[in-house]
Structure 1
Amino acid sequence: MKKSPFSQSTRTDAGLAAVLRVVVGRLARRLRAQRLDTSLSLGQGAALYTLARHGEMTPGELAEHEKVQPPSMTRIVAALEERGLVRRAKHPGDQRRQLVDLTDAGRELVRADQRQREAWLAQRLQELTPEERDTLRRAAEILDRLSQS
């Protein structure tokens, strides 16, 4: 069995942290490269995905969720609205506030983008052994727990 080049560096928690940072970052970049619409900024894409996952929200809630300043989110929402991917509506409980939601075009773009990225990743997974895929299934649960902490 081929020895991993990471086996020496992952013996300590600090080493494991360093390796995980590199490989997770590399995988994230590879997945971003599979984006359907590369004319969208990463922030715009993240906002679309958040709205698809959580439903309509105020621009402030969206900014908080994405960990950006409200003025930045205002610019992101304006650009997405100009492209017809989101719409703003008055908040039913407070007419001074607005709610942002996906349009049908925005929802379809997110779905198509997800399909494309997942197809790319599924193809990469097919290149692995069944044992490696089982290991990744277990690791996915652990990585999800890490990402939520």
Structure 2
Amino acid sequence: MQRPSEAVVDLWIRLNCAQRRLRANIEADLKKAGLPSLDWYSVLLHLKRVECGRLSPREIEEGLLFEQYNLSRLLDRMEKEGLVRRIPYPGDKRRQLIEITDKGRGLQKRMWLIYGAAIDRFLGARLDEGQVEQLSTLLSRL
């Protein structure tokens, strides 16, 4: 079994730390603005991006890499807030689709104002365009 080099281990640690710091900073900005977490935003954006605005829970789970039990509770809370609604799956009464509501679309737009600004402040402002392109290219190889 081949072991990773020290440089690869250091890269792994830096990637994880950077992701956690960036996410924590963005989450803090959302909280300060009285908005829900990035998980809510991710679900709303994922639904908004499909033409019909609806997906099965399984499609959301696979598209966002959420665990089923976490997604189920999240969707319950989002439905209670009127951001999504469950609708019957055509031709299969045992299944359902999750559909974004107008209220959900509005929240996603409001969240993006804070989220986009935070991405720029915590990431974009620290790298020039060349560095952004270089890092993006390198990460795409992973």
The answer to whether TM tops 0.5 is yes
Cα-to-partner distance string for 1:17-76 (whole Å, 9 max, x where unaligned) = 2222212221121122222544x355444433332344411223333443313x443322
What are the residue-to-residue correspondences of 1:48-127 with 2, within 5 Å?
Answer: 48-54=44-50, 55-65=53-63, 66-69=65-68, 71-123=69-121, 127=125
Pair 23,80 (structure 1): closer, same or farther in 2 beyond 3 Å: same
Corresponding residue pairs, total: 133
Query: Is 1:18 equivalent to 2:17 in the alignment?
Result: no
TM-score by length of 2: 0.73
CA RMSD of aligned residues (A): 2.8
Higher Cα Rg: structure 1 or 2? 1
Question: Identity of paired residues, percent?
Answer: 30
Q: Residue 51 of structure 1 aligns to which amino acid in structure 2?
A: L
Name the CA shift for 1:81/1:96 in 2 (closer, same or farther; >3 Å): same
- Aligned residue for 2:97, secondary structure, equals strand
Shift of 1:144: 4.2
Name stretches of at least 5 consecutive residues in structure 1 with no aligned partner.
1-10
Normalising by structure 1, report the TM-score: 0.70
Gaps of 5+ in 2: 1-5
Query: Structure 1: how far apart are the matches of 2:61 and 2:34?
Result: 22
Q: Helix, strand or coil: the match of 1:33? A: helix
| SS, match of residue 88 in structure 2 | strand
The CA distance in 1 between the partners of 2:42 and 2:121, in whole Å, is 24
Runs (4+) of structure 1 exceeding 3 A deviation are 40-46, 63-66, 123-129
Instruction: Measure the CA separation in 2 of the matches of 1:88 and 1:75.
Output: 13
